[in-house]
Chain A
C-alpha cells in the first residue's frame, strides 16, 4: 500500500475560472434572447445597458462564491479513512472509512477537461439516502484523481483463475451506432426538435413568420404528402440526434478489468466519464433488449451490483451499463468475461416456459389497456355525439387491439426461468425484454405473491430479493408447484422448510 498523505489538501483553484466561464456561458445563452426580446420593445442600447451589468454581477457573484467554497474545502486521505471538510456558513466534516469505499467515479465536462481537471465522487455504495454515503471532490487535477482512484481502490489482487482476461474486455465498435436510433428516443427527439424551433423563433419574435413560411412551403403539396414530409424531417432529426447522443455518451468506450478486481468503464466524447465497479459487488448481469434492439439482434449489458442504483434522483441509469447496445455474439462474450465464466449464463441456460394460463392473463391485460383508450373516446363521442371522437375510437381500436395482442403473446413467449451453474436466470418483458442472471448466493430472501386470479389458474409470481441492482428480480406467472420446486433448487433452505405436498 502506498504511504498515506496526512496533510490536508485543497481542490484545484482553477475551479474558480471554470465556474466563472460556465456562468458566463449561461449568461450569454439567457441574455442574448432576453436582450433581443427586450430591445424589440425599447432601444437596443438600453437593453445592452441593463443586461450587461446584470450578467457581470452574476458572473462576479459565482466567481466569489466558488472562490470561498474553494478556500473552505479541504480533504485528506489517511491510512484508514478519507476526510472532507467543507461548507461556507454551515461547516460539514465527513469521513469515510476506506475499507467501505466501493467506487471512485470520475466525470469531466468539456470545460474541466480543457483545464485538465476532473470531478471525483467517492462512494461506499451503502443503502443510505443519496449524499450521505459519498464524498465529492469538485474538482481536482486529472493526475490527482487518477492517484486517488488507484490508491483508494487498491485491494489485494484476487487469485487469477486461468483463462480469464484482465485488461481490455470490450471497446467501442463504431458500427454499433446503427443500434442507437432503434429506440423511443428517436421520435421523442424529432418532436422535441420541432418544439425547440418554435420556442427559439418565439424568443426572436419570429414564430408567426416561421409558421407561415412552413405553410407557404407546404401549400404546394397535398396534405398527406405534407404530413409525411413533416414526419420524415422529424425522423431524420431524431436519428441524427439519437446517434449524436450515443456518440457523446459512448465515444472511446472501454471496459477493462484491473488487477485489483475492479471493472472500469471509460467513455464520453465531450464529457468524459470513468466508472469503477468492484467485482466483489457484482451479483450478476442483466441483458436488456428494448424492442427495437431485439428486432435487429442487439442487447446491452447492465451490471447487477450492490450500491449502484441508490442514487436514482440525480444519476442516470446508464451508470450501471457495462456495454451499450451491441450484437448478440459480442454481448455473450462480454457477459461471460465480466462474470469470469466460460459461457455467459444467459446463453448457456435452458429456459423453461410458463403455463399457458400466463398467456391468457397477458392478452387480457393488453385488451384491457386498449379498452382503456377506446372506451372513453367511444362514450364521449356517443354522449356528446361528436363524429371525430367516434372515428378516433374505431381507428385506435383497429390499431391498438392487434398491437396489444401481439405484444401480449410476445411477452408470454419471453417468460422463462432456469438454473445454470451458480446462476438463477429469469426472463420477462416485451417492449423491454430483460434477462437477468443472478448469482444464487446473492439471493438474500424470497417472496411469493399470488392474487386470487392467479390462484384460480395455479400461477404464482416468485421474487428473489437481493442487495444488488433493483433489489428484487421476479419470475412472473410460473406454475405454482413447478415454481416453488425451482425456487427451492435455486436457493436451497429458503422456502424449503416451509413447503408441503397437498
Chain B
C-alpha cells in the first residue's frame, strides 16, 4: 500500500508491501542497514528505531504501520554539524562498543531515555536498556556512556549552552 512517512528527517512516499516487517522494509527496500536483525521476535532490540520518539522494535511492526509516522534510525542520529552526537562520542570514549552489532539500538535506547528523563540514575539507565541485549560488554560501559552524556547535557543546560 502507498504510505508517506518521515525517515531520518526526510519525507518518503513509497509503496510498502503489507506482508513484511518494518525491519525488512527498512533494510531490504530502503537500504537502512544500521537497523540490525538479531532475533526477529522482539527480544534483542538490535532492530530498535525511534517511532515518533518512542523506542520500538521494528521487527514487531509491519511496513505499512510506518504511514504518517516519524522514524529515526541510527543513520538519522547526527549532531547539528553532521558529526557525532554527544552520546555517540561517549560510546566511543567510554568503551561502550565492542562488536558493534547492538550499538545502534543501544544508542537509540539511550536517546529515548534521555528525552524522557534527563537525569537518570544507574538503575533507571539499566531499566531503559532492558529490551536491548548485548553479549560483549556486560553493559557497564554503556551505562557509563549514557550517564556521562546526561551529566554533560545537564551542565550545558544550566550554563545556558544548547546541547
Q: Do A and B bind each other?
A: no
Give chain B's interface residues, CB within 8 Å of chain A.
Answer: none
